[in-house]
Amino acid sequence: MEHLDFLIRDLALILVVASVTTIIFKKINQPLVLGYILAGFLTSSNFSLIPTIADPENINIWGELGVIFIMFALGLEFNFHKIVNIGGSAIVTAATVITSMVFLGYGVGLAMGWSRMDSIFLGGMISMSSTMIILKAYEELKLKHKKYAQLVLGTLIIEDVVAIFLMIVLSTISVSKDISGLELGSQIGKMMLYLILWLLLGIYLIPTGLKRADKYLNDETLLIVSLGLCLAMVIIANYMGFSSALGAFLAGSILAGTVKAERIDELVKPIKDLFGAIFFVSVGMLVNPTLIVKYLGPIIILTIVTIVGQMTFSAIGVLLSGQSLRTAVGAGMSMVQIGEFSFIIASLGTALGVTSDFLYPIVVSVSVITTFTTPMFIKKIDSAYVIVNKLLPRTTLRTIKQYTSERQNENEKDPDWKEYLGKYIPRTAITTMILLCIYIIGIQVTTPALWHHGIKYLIARRIACASTVILMTPIINLMSYKRNMVYTKLWLKSKTNRLPLLVFRSVRILISIFFVMLTINTVTNIPVWILWTIALFIVSFSIKSDFMISNSIKIETRFIANFNERILEKNKKERGIVKHYRWLDETLLVDEYEIEKLLIQEPEKIFYARRKLGVQIIKIIRKDKHINIPDRETGIKEGDIVVVMGKKHNLDSYEMAIENAAVTLRRKERYTLRDYTYRQVFVSTDKEQHLLCMAVNVTNQCEFCNKTIQLSKIKEKYYGFVIGIDRDALSIIGPNKNTQILEGDVLWVLGHQRTLDKFLKEGILN
């Protein structure tokens, strides 16, 4: 009970003192963080005019919880889509600042005679600006709308992400002092692989679990589940060799994409505020006036290095990204401080026992000074721009202006290539990392585990090899099978595109073959050409098998739905999903082609073979006859009006393919599918000639529930075909024939009067 008394007394003391200091700092318009740091100093053993805490160790433990909840809350605010939308300028700026400041801090630390490890951590500490302090200054000065402000805030988001990676690197370096650079790189790479795999598994599993438990989740249970996940991820992260802060951030980032994210953030905020305050108080307790006086020289030096370095490299980074000199000066004058992440990195060094005792209070002192100076620098942005503009030589100014105008040439690049590579690179990188993780876990973890359970080593190795290859097959399909429509459009657009496209496709296949060969090679010493043949067969089966395609589509659809759950739910609310499906308006388009001249035999092979382009012939008008949902036997004749449906890319590729096949045609006006179906009423009064779009709610009573589209026989039995699926909030446009139809799906079927009659007769439509 005596121990509990000390804990309660200490907590009461720091909260009372912190409440007074934060009110004072709020009144004088200064960051509350400084108030917490002052409260920590006043209640520490370094200040004797008021009572001091009895057990600092307890406060440090509470402070560690503060770091965990701060990082968890940061993860909840993190959004992968933000990174995509931030743009290249923020990424270039962040990369320039962080890289330069890490090396600068390392060099300054060594120059002052500090140890190598102190210098490494110093570089990490002074490379991160404070989001909290800059955002507060912008809001007070009403500058958030400025171009440089938007760029700075985007840069700070990138810095937060890089800080997580930096913590991984620093943790690895700290516990691996005596290993070579190659081994260190290998360890960091392996840790990153485990990290990404864990993140992907979390995104795949956790949102689905929350969705299924939704009816049991009130505020209380949701808070308990969220904090339980957070602390569980902390334990797992520690077990895997990562920091607690990283585990908490991962937990938050996994939950950030769910529809519960905003509610979780509201519930966790008071807890984060309490424990976060205790963390900053614990930081203040480390402020030692004796050490500050002793290290006054390094504090002044590091303050100057931080301000000048951050200012200079931020401006250079902005210029390198192609922004104007005015924007560069604005960004440089804003990012002149260090803040909360510096404390977290400092606490990491202390927790690992690899940094000196003097480093923490020095960094705190530098942070306090730069926090006070930040608003002054921001207020002087316009004056600084005038001075810089006068001091820079005219030739330099001309070069800068020329450079920033030349950046517009990016818009002249082929947008189709940009879109293709934007999808190709992430998919290839992610699936390659998953294959590597499966290999490492399957061979290096499964084999010893089976052997320890009494299975003979050779048999255990063979079981591990077989299970690893089986687990790889759907991932190989995800990587290699799907050729998006931009690929086809580029292929048809120019023959010069074909070689690089084939190279890109071959790279994926070779990566897949490599991993299969690597796995099989662990249990056999057969010649390479036989190994290659076996691997090629397995990869070909993985790519072409309908079963594999169906499973990979299921995996991908679930992952995309979970990853985008928050955005999809928002879109669902905006469009009023019960009554109005915007994707019918905006995504599916209809073209009408009048066939003027056919210079080839059997043109239907060309027209109907183009379904692989994602385009469907939905009607042929031959003289006065309307043929709805035609098939190959209907044929194509001169004078026909062929009506096709697809997405914009698909229709563009289809038109190029038909024209390349020596067919003369004239395209009429392009409509959305909805407009086309409405327009039919004015063109013809015969309902038998009209195309109809029907929504079918799939129940477990439907004969096609849990079947693929191909096996459902919807076209053969109901004379229509599936043009889209609404699965929860996810819209799947033009689904693959191997897509499985699940209970709860809304199938959008395009057909005609016979389709409607058949659905009504069998009770599929109410």
Are 341 and 430 members of one domain?
no
Three-state DSSP at 130 gives coil
- Quick one: pLDDT band at residue 411, thresholds 50, 70, 90? very low
- Percentage of the chain beyond pLDDT 90 is 5
pLDDT in tens, 675-702: 887 777 676 657 777 888 888 888 888 8
Does any domain span residue 1? Answer: no
Are 702 and 669 members of one domain?
no
Describe the crossing of helices 32-42 and 359-379 by its angle, rounded to 10 degrees.
150
d(CA 199, CA 75): 12
707 touches 697 (CB < 8 A): no
Q: Would the pLDDT of 371 be above 50?
A: yes
Are 340 and 474 members of one domain?
no
Residue 579 pLDDT? 46
In b/e form, how buried is each residue of 441-478, taking b as 16+ CB within 10 angstroms? Answer: bbbeebbeebbeeebeeeebbbbbbebbbebbbbbbbb
Describe the crossing of helices 325-334 and 394-406 by its angle, rounded to 10 degrees.
100
Residue 746 forms beta bridges with which residues?
Answer: 697, 726
pLDDT in tens, 528-546: 888 888 888 988 888 887 7
Amino acid 713 reads K
In b/e form, how buried is each residue of 106-144, taking b as 16+ CB within 10 angstroms? Answer: bebbeeeebeebbbbbbbbbbbbbbbbbbebbbeeeebe
What is the domain-level CATH number for residue 722? 3.30.70.1450
Q: Which has the higher per-residue pLDDT, 726 or 180?
A: 726
- Percentage of the chain beyond pLDDT 70 is 85
Structure tokens, 659: 């024209």
Torsion angle of C-alpha atoms 124, 127, 133, 137, degrees rounded to 10 = 180
Q: With left for phi above 0 and alpha for psi between -120 and 50, is residue 629 left, alpha or beta? A: left
Residue 212 pLDDT? 80
Residue 578 pLDDT? 45
Are 363 and 274 members of one domain?
yes
Structure tokens, 639: 């004078």
Does any domain span residue 41? Answer: no
Does any domain span residue 211? Answer: no
Give the number of other Cβ atoms within 10 Å of residue 375's Cβ: 18
Are 227 and 370 members of one domain?
yes
259 touches 566 (CB < 8 A): yes
Are 611 and 724 members of one domain?
no
d(CA 122, CA 362): 10
Q: Which has the higher per-residue pLDDT, 727 or 510?
A: 510
254 touches 206 (CB < 8 A): yes
Amino acid 262 reads E
pLDDT in tens, 226-236: 999 899 888 88
Are 330 and 382 members of one domain?
yes
d(CA 690, CA 680): 6
Residue 133 pLDDT? 76
Residue 606 pLDDT? 60
d(CA 628, CA 261): 46
d(CA 539, CA 512): 7
Residue 629 pLDDT? 83
Alpha helix (H) residue ranges in 240-358: 244-256, 261-285, 289-294, 296-320, 325-334, 340-352
Residue 180 pLDDT? 52
What is the domain-level CATH number for residue 195? 1.20.1530.20
pLDDT in tens, 57-82: 777 788 888 888 888 888 887 766 66
Segment (H or E) for 238: helix 219-239
Q: Would the pLDDT of 349 be above 70?
A: yes
41 touches 284 (CB < 8 A): yes
Q: Which residue, 518, 544, 570, sits at the end of a domain?
A: 544
Describe the crossing of helices 2-27 and 32-42 by its angle, rounded to 10 degrees.
140
pLDDT in tens, 372-386: 888 888 888 888 888
Residue 105 pLDDT? 92
Residue 104 pLDDT? 93
Least confident of 426-440, 549-563, 696-710, 750-764: 549-563
Are 586 and 533 members of one domain?
no
Q: Would the pLDDT of 406 be above 60?
A: no
Structure tokens, 90: 């923020």
Are 515 and 659 members of one domain?
no
Alpha helix (H) residue ranges in 610-732: 648-660, 673-683, 709-712, 714-718
Does any domain span residue 750? Answer: yes
Residue 573 pLDDT? 61
Residue that has been written with the tokens 């038909």 in this structure: 658
* Sign of the torsion angle spanned by Cα atoms 403, 407, 408, 414: positive
CA nearest neighbour of 302 among 130, 127, 132: 127
The arithmetic mean of pLDDT across residues 575-586, rounded, is 53
Does any domain span residue 36? Answer: no
Residue 191 pLDDT? 65
Distinct helix (H) and strand (E) counts, the chain: 34, 10
Least confident of 29-38, 61-70, 303-312, 561-570: 561-570
d(CA 204, CA 240): 20
Confirm whether pTM is higher than 0.85: no
pLDDT in tens, 583-637: 555 678 888 888 877 766 666 666 665 556 678 888 888 887 888 888 777 778 8
Segment (H or E) for 627: strand 625-628
Following DSSP, what letter does each residue of 349-416 receive, concatenated? HHHHT-S-TTHHHHHHHHHHHHHHHHHHHHHTHHHHHHHHHHHS-HHHHHHHHHHHHHGGGGGGS-HH
CA nearest neighbour of 607 among 642, 570, 650: 642
In b/e form, how buried is each residue of 488-527, taking b as 16+ CB within 10 angstroms? Answer: bbbbbbeeebeeebeeeeeebbebbbebbbbbbebbeeee
pLDDT in tens, 246-284: 788 888 888 887 778 888 888 998 998 888 888 888 878
Three-state DSSP at 720 gives coil
Question: What is the DSSP-derived secondary structure letter of residue 354?
Answer: -
Pairing of strands 625-628, 692-697: unpaired
Residue 409 pLDDT? 42
Q: Which has the higher per-residue pLDDT, 450 or 728?
A: 450
Are 198 and 105 members of one domain?
yes
Structure tokens, 715: 């076209």
Averaged confidence pLDDT in the chain: 79
The CA angle 400-404-406, to the nearest 5 degrees, is 115
Does any domain span residue 30? Answer: no
Residue 731 forms beta bridges with which residues?
Answer: 726
Residue 665 forms beta bridges with which residues?
Answer: 595
Residue 84 pLDDT? 59
Residue 224 pLDDT? 92
Which residues, including other chains, have CB under 8 Å from residue 411's CB and lie 6 or more apart?
none
Residue 309 pLDDT? 92
Range of the domain at 319: 57-202+218-397
Residue that has been written with the tokens 């393919």 in this structure: 657
d(CA 591, CA 643): 6
Total count of domains within the chain: 4
Q: Which residue, 665, 686, 707, sits at the end of a domain?
A: 686
Q: Would the pLDDT of 184 be above 70?
A: no
Residue 697 forms beta bridges with which residues?
Answer: 746
Are 632 and 536 members of one domain?
no
Does any domain span residue 569? Answer: no
Are 662 and 702 members of one domain?
no
Amino acid 36 reads Y
The arithmetic mean of pLDDT across residues 462-485, rounded, is 80
* Sign of the torsion angle spanned by Cα atoms 497, 503, 507, 509: positive
Residue 175 pLDDT? 65
Amino acid 56 reads P
Q: Would the pLDDT of 746 be above 70?
A: yes
Describe the strand order of the beta sheet including 692-697 as a list of residue ranges: 692-697, 746-751, 721-727, 730-733
Does any domain span residue 287? Answer: yes
Following DSSP, what letter does each residue of 655-683 receive, concatenated? HHHHHHTTEEEEE---EEHHHHHHHHHHH
Give the number of other Cβ atoms within 10 Å of residue 669's Cβ: 10
The arithmetic mean of pLDDT across residues 197-201, rounded, is 71
* Residue 247 backbone phi and psi in degrees, to 5: -60, -40
320 touches 92 (CB < 8 A): yes
Residue 155 pLDDT? 85
